[in-house]
Amino acid sequence: MDDVGHGLDGIEIVSPADVPEGTRFEDAMAALEECVDALESGDPGLDDAIRLFRRGAALRAWCEARLDAIRAQVEEIAGDPAEDA
């Protein structure tokens, strides 16, 4: 499978709108985990920590929005169980 263009390394992300169209959910989660790991390590200086926190917050919001959209699609496909009764 070709993952070219799906990685988020080197892309500045400060809001969910900065996540490139076509980004895979798994790639966004991996980038979010990298932010968390870096912050938990205690290694970054204050400026880098703020940048990582901002990036992580934007990625989290993007992932949540993506999950909400998928949840809506699944509910639409599954239908309302009360209608089937």
Residue 36 lies in a domain: no
Q: Is residue 28, in this structure, part of any structural domain at all?
A: no
Is residue 20 domain-resident? no
69 is a domain residue: yes
Q: Does residue 29 sit within a domain?
A: no
The DSSP string of 7-76 is: --TT---SSGGGSPTT--HHHHHHHHHHHHHHHHHT-S-HHHHHHHHHHHHHHHHHHHHHHHHHHHHHHH
Q: Is 52 a member of any domain? A: yes
Task: Please indicate, yes or no, if residue 13 is contained in any of the structural domains.
Answer: no
For residue 1, is it within any domain? no
Q: Which domain holds residue 50?
A: 46-78
pLDDT digits (tens, 9 = 90+) for 17-33: 999 999 999 999 999 99
- pLDDT reported for residue 7: 75
Domain count, the chain: 1
Q: What is the pLDDT of residue 81?
A: 65
pLDDT in tens, 55-77: 999 999 999 999 999 999 999 99
